[in-house]
Amino acid sequence: MKILDQKNISFYKDLKKNLKKRYNKNNNNLNNLVKKIIIDVKRNGDKALIKYAKKFDNIKIKKNDLIKKNIKKNEFINEIDKNVLTSFRKAITNVVKFHKKQIPKNYIHNNFGAKLYSQWKPLDSVGLYIPGGKAVYPSSIIMNVIPAKIAGVKRIVCVTPPCKKINPYILALLYELKIKEIYFIGGAQAIAALAYGTETIKPVNKIFGPGNDFVASAKKHVFGKVGIDLIAGPSEIVVLANSKNNPDWVACDLMAQAEHDINSQSILITDNKNFAKKVLNIIKKLSAKLNKKNTISKSLKNNGIIILIKNIEKSFEIINYIAPEHLHLHIKKNKKFLNNLKNVGSIFIGEYASESFGDYIVGTNHVLPTFGSAKFSSGLGVLDFMKRNSIIEINRLSFNQFAKDVEKMADVEGLEAHKLSVKIRQTK
């Protein structure tokens, strides 16, 4: 892990450099390929999907194989641990309870007889991408489907890459959540199909869900034709801890992010260099026993950062600059930090608040802004699956109250027809 000291005059310059290197990649070749795939799907529909399933997934499929409706229990029930399913069900219950609190309220504002309504409506349709390659995360199904259902979305479409054997926990959760429209397609071609439609697949209004570089690039390209949730980057965490905290626990929190991907970023902020060394030694010892030890090692070597600070009370300035996806406050008296923390996806308070709880069970959503986008966006929620309408009802009284003002403002902007549409209503 790279060690940066806040006392150095070049600290923020060095920090910026280490944060940027993860996404300063030249993806011109990738973007050009994705463009070609999207154009091909637009032109050739199902035929293109079948072609790319063979090319990228090495799966030979027919048109009828693209779609799978009404998953049956016998397709997965003998291949899963029922105790694990019980845990997933507990997660579903908690996520439902938390997200129901997010349902927005409509309201009416009366202004001199003019009634102004703010009205929330669910999106008509959404597409949810479920990764099925190197990374298989059934929990992401929960985090995407539940807020969509609570919002009232009628048509929820799920896509997942074709393979010889679909992960049984993916099938189990699609069954539990009563998803009826499922397509076995992946990559950029799946995003194109959701955006533009094919003979088999009707297009949707907005696309959600994580994926590889092909998926992320495709979401960028189709944005505007459809809405998208966010461009998900590799996972990231900032852990704030001092010498009074347990170095074993801190080490595990850093590794938990590093194991996602070699491009994941784990950052430790501490006021004690010896504590940081202890954490590093523990990581070396514990990671050697894990199946993703190579991923952890590469992630921490390439992107891991230890930030040494003189005064831990001032760390929020650095945290706001980083704008991390996850922030874990190990330190005591942590709540006084909250008012000063502006740019964070999700905050975990106290030594027992492992970020893993947020990923799986407690009820908050684990789809969060990355790459510093916490400066302007939030984690996934019910509102992402809704849109707001404004309704204006004006009677004679409110018309007379505002008419002259509208005419004057239209004059300033040179919009004569705007003025006329008001003036003409003043004649009997």
Catalytic residues: 325-326
Assess contact for 137 and 173: CB atoms under 8 A.
Answer: no
To 5 degrees, how large is the angle CA 330–CA 333–CA 334? 50
* Whole-angstrom distance, CA of residue 366 vs CA of residue 325: 9
Q: Is 112 left (phi over 0), alpha (psi -120 to 50) or beta?
A: left
Q: Which residue has the tokens 């959701």?
A: 194
Query: Is the C-alpha dihedral spanning 374, 375, 376, 382 positive or negative?
Result: positive
Residue 341: CB atoms within 10 A of its CB come to 14
232: burial class by Cβ within 10 Å (0-12, 13-18, 19+)? buried
User: Buried (b) or exposed (e) across 131-165, using 16+ Cβ within 10 A?
Assistant: bbbeebbbbbbbbbbbbbbbbebeebbbbbbbbee
User: Which H/E stretch holds residue 52?
Assistant: helix 46-57
- Torsions phi, psi for 416 (to 5 deg): -65, -35
